[in-house]
Every structure is written in structure tokens, then in C-alpha cells.
């Protein structure tokens, strides 16, 4: 057998195995994210349409606990992901999605169901196109990561300030900039998830990478959805 052909065949086989492993990994990430969105949506809908549930929550100081709980989950996830088992990481992610559903239940109290559905499909289209770009592009998106993070910090600070100011102009600016930032982060995170995958990692490590990747994309999706509601949502 020609040694050159033999070497080429081995390399091609290795590349094919890597590509298949990467495809399965990305599919796992998107499946986790999609299931997380389903959990969030169901919890938000049930709570938002049941007075016996939403009145005690949003009619008392408990609403602040519900609103801030997702942030606490994100910090906990970020600091403990390395020491968690894959199964614990999954359970924590599902719990986070349920808590986020509680936080988003107020959406069903403010906006019409039709506008919520419309905004969801617009968000899904934007997210899908941007994530696909991040997956297939050969351009290195790591350079824009620092700018996106600075933009994210700016959006968070401006949002906190506007809680006290109540400025519609500032809210409009935050929504526009926020959408741009989270759309950019979707492409950046998708490429980052793709590049972090390694067939040399054990199943446990790749499983945790998939959960953490799903969390990153989930947060981008939810934030785009919430910001778009400021433009496309119709109030009850």
C-alpha cells in the first residue's frame, strides 16, 4: 500500500471522527438550551396565568428575590462549574431555567400573548442566523469579545441607573445597544463553544462543557427576547 495514501486515509478518518464528535457536541448544547427554554416558558406561562401564584410573588417584596435569583444562579454556576459533576451541572441548569421562568412570569401580566409569541419567533430567527454564522465562519471572533463584554457591562450599569431615573430615552438606547451586544455574543459564544470541544476530553468534561455552553446561549436568547419586547410587545 502506498504510505502517502495510507497516511492521508488515516488523517481523513481522524478528521471525520472529530467532525462527527463536534456535531454531536453542538447538538447536545442546542438540545439543552432548547429544553431550558421550554422549562422557562412553561413556568412563566403557568405562574403568569395563575393569580394564586403570581399575586403572592409580584404583589410583595418577594418579587425582588425572584428577579435577582437568576443572577445568583449565574454566579454560582460560573464559580462552581469546574468542581461540579456533569449530572449536578445539568440539575443546576434546569433549576436555573425554572427560576428564570418565575422571573419572566411578569411578561405575561404586561404583554399580550400574541405579541409574546411574535417576539419569540423573531428572537428565534435572529438567534438561529447569528449562531449559524458563529459556527460556520472562518473569521476569528475572539477579537470582538472584549468589546462585547464592555458593551454588556455598560448595558447592565445603564439598566440599573434607569431603574431610578425611569427615562424612556435611556431605556430605548439600552434596548438597542443591548440587542446588538447579545446578538454579537451569540456568534462569539457559538464559535467559542465549537473551539472548546475536544475529542480528547472524557465524556464527563464534554458533558459539562455542553451544559455551560447551553447556559451561555440560553442567556443570550432570553436577553434578546426581553429587549425586543420593548419594541414589538403590545401591552395588555
Give pLDDT tens digits along the chain (236 positions). Answer: 555 454 444 455 577 777 787 888 899 999 999 999 999 999 999 988 888 877 877 777 777 777 777 777 777 777 777 778 888 888 889 988 998 998 888 888 888 889 999 999 999 999 999 999 999 988 888 888 778 888 888 888 888 787 777 777 878 888 888 899 999 999 999 999 988 876 666 777 788 889 989 999 999 999 999 999 988 766 76
Query: What residues does 235 pair with on adjacent strands?
Result: 111
> Of the candidates 224, 216, 218, 222, which has an alpha carbon nearest to the alpha carbon of residue 178?
224
pLDDT at position 64, please? 74
- What lies within 8 Å, CB to CB, of 86 at 6+ separation is 203, 204, 207, 208, 211
How far, in Å, CA of 135 to CA of 139, rounded?
A: 10
pLDDT at position 8, please? 46
Q: What is the pTM of this model?
A: 0.86
**Domain segments of the chain as ranges:** 3-232
Question: Would you mind telling me the total number of residues written for the chain in this entry?
Answer: 236
Amino acid at each position: 500500500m502506498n504510505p502517502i495514501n495510507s497516511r492521508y486515509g488515516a488523517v481523513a478518518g481522524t478528521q471525520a471522527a472529530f467532525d462527527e464528535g463536534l456535531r454531536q457536541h453542538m447538538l447536545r448544547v442546542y438540545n439543552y438550551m432548547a429544553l431550558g427554554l421550554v422549562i422557562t416558558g412553561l413556568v412563566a406561562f403557568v405562574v403568569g396565568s395563575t393569580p394564586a401564584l403570581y399575586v403572592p410573588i409580584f404583589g410583595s417584596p418577594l418579587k425582588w428575590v425572584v428577579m435577582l435569583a437568576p443572577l445568583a444562579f449565574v454566579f454560582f454556576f460560573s464559580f462552581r462549574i469546574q468542581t461540579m459533576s456533569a449530572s449536578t451541572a445539568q440539575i443546576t441548569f434546569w433549576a436555573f431555567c425554572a427560576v428564570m421562568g418565575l422571573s419572566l412570569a411578569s411578561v405575561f401580566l404586561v404583554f399580550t400573548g400574541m405579541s409574546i409569541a411574535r417576539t419569540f419567533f423573531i428572537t428565534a430567527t435572529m438567534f438561529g442566523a447569528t449562531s449559524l454564522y458563529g459556527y460556520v465562519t472562518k473569521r476569528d471572533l475572539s477579537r470582538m469579545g472584549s468589546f462585547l463584554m464592555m458593551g454588556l457591562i455598560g448595558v447592565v450599569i445603564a439598566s440599573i441607573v434607569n431603574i431610578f431615573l425611569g427615562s424612556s430615552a435611556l431605556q430605548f438606547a439600552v434596548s438597542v445597544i443591548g440587542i446588538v451586544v447579545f446578538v454579537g455574543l451569540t456568534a462569539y459564544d457559538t464559535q467559542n463553544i465549537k473551539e472548546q470541544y475536544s475529542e480528547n476530553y472524557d465524556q464527563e468534561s464534554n458533558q459539562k462543557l455542553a451544559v455551560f455552553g447551553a447556559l451561555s446561549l440560553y442567556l443570550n436568547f432570553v436577553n434578546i427576547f426581553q429587549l425586543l419586547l420593548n419594541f414589538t410587545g403590545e401591552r395588555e
